């Protein structure tokens, strides 16, 4: 469906009739889009409905923000859900919040990893089957499992795919506002994992800025790394197991 807006220019002696074509539907290079169409996300949801229809309340509940006293104002939540690609950046987007939250989550992931017990597979990978203790193998330092840092388990914990699936499992992905590069291409080409990762990072960044470091740490530790089915820890374990299984079958 398309619409045509007509106007008359009275600035000349005889008058000039001008026609502006506003395109709707799939993007076509060279055609001007209808402004109302540009404010919809890939699922057809209009940006104004976030606040008007209470979708931010759905996000607040899905991410359990109130449970930890980490609630955010509606306008800030809407910003967390908005990627810089959306509507040529005319709406407040989440880039800077995402950078702050992303660094904080990485830091918390490091703390989580070094506090995990040493596994038999860790000893085997460093050829330390005959060594009597993790300390002697150089894995444990002052009671902390530094051998976990940089390993697959630690990296998968906060990978783009893991964090994107977290947002998807919580049912928030269809409320995210961004623009696909090509509607005909898949999620990899369009960078959907990256977009969804910025949402979770931005939410944590917002908590950190408004509620403080302790509240942000509590939320990350008990909501993201708690081991429940929809947590980053469980999702990363499942993805890593699937990846290892695929490699064995190749």
Report how far apart, in Å, the C-alpha atoms of 137 and of each of 33, 74, 115, 189 are.
62, 51, 17, 43
Q: What is the pLDDT of residue 8?
A: 46
Residue 119 Rama label (left phi>0; alpha psi -120 to 50; beta): beta
Q: How many helices (H) and strands (E) does the chain have?
A: 12, 4
Q: What is the pLDDT of residue 45?
A: 94
- Mind listing the pLDDT tens digit for each residue in 112-150? 988 887 766 666 665 555 455 555 555 667 777 777 787
Q: What is the pLDDT of residue 131?
A: 52
Q: What is the pLDDT of residue 30?
A: 62
Using DSSP, state whether 115 is helix, strand or coil.
Answer: coil
- Mind listing the pLDDT tens digit for each residue in 227-236? 888 999 999 9
- Backbone phi and psi for residue 18, each to the nearest 5 degrees, phi listed first: -115, 145
Mean pLDDT over each residue of the chain, to the nearest integer:
83
- Mind listing the pLDDT tens digit for each residue in 27-78? 666 655 555 667 999 999 999 999 899 899 999 999 999 999 999 999 999 9
Can you give the pTM of this predicted structure? 0.79
Cβ atoms of 137 and 131 closer than 8 Å: yes
Query: Residue holding tokens 């089915």?
Result: 229
End-to-end Cα distance, the chain: 48
């Amino acid at each position: 469906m398309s619409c045509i807006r007509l106007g008359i220019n009275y600035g000349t002696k005889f008058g000039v009739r001008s026609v502006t074509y506003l395109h709707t539907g799939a993007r076509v290079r060279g055609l001007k889009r209808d402004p109302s169409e540009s404010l919809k996300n890939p699922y057809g949801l209009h940006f104004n409905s976030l606040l008007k229809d209470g979708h931010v309340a759905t996000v607040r509940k899905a991410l359990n923000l109130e449970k930890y006293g980490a609630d955010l104002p509606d306008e800030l939540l809407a910003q967390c859900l908005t990627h810089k690609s959306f509507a040529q950046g005319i709406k407040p987007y989440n880039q800077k919040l995402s950078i702050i939250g992303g660094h904080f989550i990485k830091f918390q992931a490091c703390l989580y990893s070094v506090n995990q017990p040493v596994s038999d597979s860790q000893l085997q990978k460093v050829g330390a089957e005959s060594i009597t203790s993790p300390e002697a193998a150089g894995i444990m330092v002052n009671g902390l499992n530094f051998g976990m840092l940089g390993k697959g388990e630690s990296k998968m914990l906060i990978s783009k795919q893991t964090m994107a699936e977290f947002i998807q499992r919580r049912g928030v992905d269809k409320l995210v506002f961004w623009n696909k590069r090509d509607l005909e291409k898949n999620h990899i080409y369009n960078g959907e994992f990256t977009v969804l990762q910025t949402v979770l990072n931005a939410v944590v960044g917002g908590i950190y800025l408004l509620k403080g470091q302790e509240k942000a740490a509590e939320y990350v530790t008990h909501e993201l790394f708690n081991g429940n089915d929809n947590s980053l820890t469980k999702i990363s374990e499942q993805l890593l197991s699937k990846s290892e299984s695929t490699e064995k079958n190749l």
